[in-house]
Structure 1
Amino acid sequence: MRVSWARLGAAHEGLLPLLDAVERRRHDTIVDPATRDRFLLGCALSRLRLGERLDVPPADVPLRRECPHCGGPHGKPRLAVPSPYAFSVTHSGGLVGVAVCRGAEVGLDLEEADAPLDVDAAARTALAAPELTALYARPSAGRQAAFLRVWTRKEAVLKALGVGLRVPLRELRVSAPEEPPAVLSWPRQLTARPGVGMADLLVDGTHPASVAVTGARGVDVTCDDGTAALAAYVP
């Protein structure tokens, strides 16, 4: 599996022709410039990496963004044609990531290590009781880093399963940050509980990220920097 990272500075108008009509409309309605650039980079990097595997021009990669619940164009992006490839997009602050996997569903999550965060409030929402107890057993200075590691693991798993945050995070329990990533208990809403393999990543030596793959025990990840490819892209 390949994970590509890009930085916000790689966004430029030359990437706009890569977007299809649905993506372009969504892009043009985003008011905040940084959010708009993150969306553009996620679309463009996905298309570049999938185009390489499908052997088609990036702009011709057939993507679908239909929400399975309301039919709106904001669901998890997927290939619109049968393909062995699945992918996942994440973004936080000045970073965007895309994971592409063959033969399994994949989820990728990234968080900024130094972003302002109310750890207490977030932990009460996201952590199971044993996880919360373990978090507060740590020195206060290390709690945000520990929480973000657990959070990225949970987000990656739920993205891989395609359920997002529609199930209680507190019922999805994962291993402690210092331990190899693993799911310890599942939310009761998930009647189908496939094996999930995970890997922890660290972007720029600082920002925690996690990737999860369904039907796997171990995850072999190759990471690369997609910033240069995006910055140099000419349609």
Structure 2
Amino acid sequence: MVTVYRCAPRPVREVAPWLVRPELDRVERYRDAAGQARSATGRALLRAAVAQRVDAPARDVVVEQACPHCGGPHGKTRIAGWSDIHVNVSYAGDVVLVALADVPVGIDVERCSRVGFRGFDEVALTEAETADVRAMDPERRDRARTDLWAQKEAVLKLTGEGLDRSPNTVHVGIGATRVDDPRAVLTQVPMPSSYRAWVATVDPPVELTILDGAALLEAAAASARTATGR
């Protein structure tokens, strides 16, 4: 089963108490307040989701992330001490998503307005996908491009390759829910019409549950206040 928590970005000051110094440093690399809020909320929501699963305070959840090639803090996210808990985070615009699963998982959300620039097809799509998209009615093209981009991102986050592998080498195809290389199954996450979001796992069947991330953050904050007597 895959549980997806969804919420809007929160101001950094609201969620900063749950973050450790390296996470705050990562948040501060974003130059704009919106980017900082998305990054901070994603990590706080991740901690809250895992904390609820393992019945521990959110700040006690140890999140590990290291690139297998350079050792930098941008590899696949893992939870220390809980190898059977798999997580992934994505955010765009006013949406933050966290996937929590008992199987390896990748998740990605994208805004439909972000894919219409010149050169997108060459960077993101295979030749066959490009031909199929350009054969569609113009009003459907950007949604198809967004689906393909979110699907590929989810798959590459599932495998841990990220953008070390060019997305134009991953063939999904219009309307597909399976990928052969790398092997993955795709499940769509219900979203407002201006966004597209997908979850990638290795094997079906996938039972997707969507939960309110804002309520989870509020519950975690209340629990922390109780614990500290505030």
Task: Map 1:216-227; keep pairs closer than 5 Å.
Answer: 216-227=203-214
User: Secondary structure, in 3 states, of the residue corresponding to 1:199?
Assistant: strand
- Unaligned runs of 5+ residues in structure 2 are 225-230
Is the contact between residue 46 and residue 89 of structure 1 (CA under 8 Å) also seen in structure 2? yes
1:205, distance to aligned residue in structure 2 (A) = 4.5
State the alpha-carbon separation in 2 of the partners of residues 157 and 220 from structure 1: 17
Task: Map 1:82-231; keep pairs closer than 5 Å.
Answer: 82-102=82-102, 104-113=103-112, 115-177=113-175, 180-183=176-179, 185-186=180-181, 193=182, 195-214=183-202, 216-230=203-217
Matched to 1:94, the amino acid is: D
RMSD: 1.9
User: Secondary structure, in 3 states, of the residue corresponding to 1:16?
Assistant: helix
1:59, distance to aligned residue in structure 2 (A) = 0.7
Is the contact between residue 86 and residue 105 of structure 1 (CA under 8 Å) also seen in structure 2? yes
Normalising to structure 1: TM-score of the pair? 0.86
1:30, distance to aligned residue in structure 2 (A) = 3.3
1:121, distance to aligned residue in structure 2 (A) = 1.4
State the alpha-carbon separation in 2 of the partners of residues 224 and 205 from structure 1: 19
Normalising to structure 2: TM-score of the pair? 0.88
Change (3 A) 1:32 1:230: same
Residue 5 (structure 1) aligned with residue 6 (structure 2):
yes
Greater fraction helix: 2
Is the contact between residue 11 and residue 231 of structure 1 (CA under 8 Å) also seen in structure 2? no
Change (3 A) 1:169 1:30: closer
Is the contact between residue 88 and residue 99 of structure 1 (CA under 8 Å) also seen in structure 2? yes
State the alpha-carbon separation in 2 of the partners of residues 33 and 129 from structure 1: 37
User: Secondary structure, in 3 states, of the residue corresponding to 2:204?
Assistant: coil
Is the contact between residue 12 and residue 36 of structure 2 (CA under 8 Å) also seen in structure 1? no
- Unaligned runs of 5+ residues in structure 1 are 187-192
Q: After TM superposition, what 4+ stretches of structure 1 lie above 4 angstroms from structure 2?
A: none
Would you say how many aligned residue pairs link Structure 1 and Structure 2? Answer: 221
1:78, distance to aligned residue in structure 2 (A) = 1.3
1:29, distance to aligned residue in structure 2 (A) = 4.2
Change (3 A) 1:140 1:120: farther
Deviations 1:157-205 (A, max 9, x none): 111000001113222111313xx4111x42xxxxxx5x42220123134
User: Secondary structure, in 3 states, of the residue corresponding to 1:17?
Assistant: helix
User: Secondary structure, in 3 states, of the residue corresponding to 2:31?
Assistant: coil
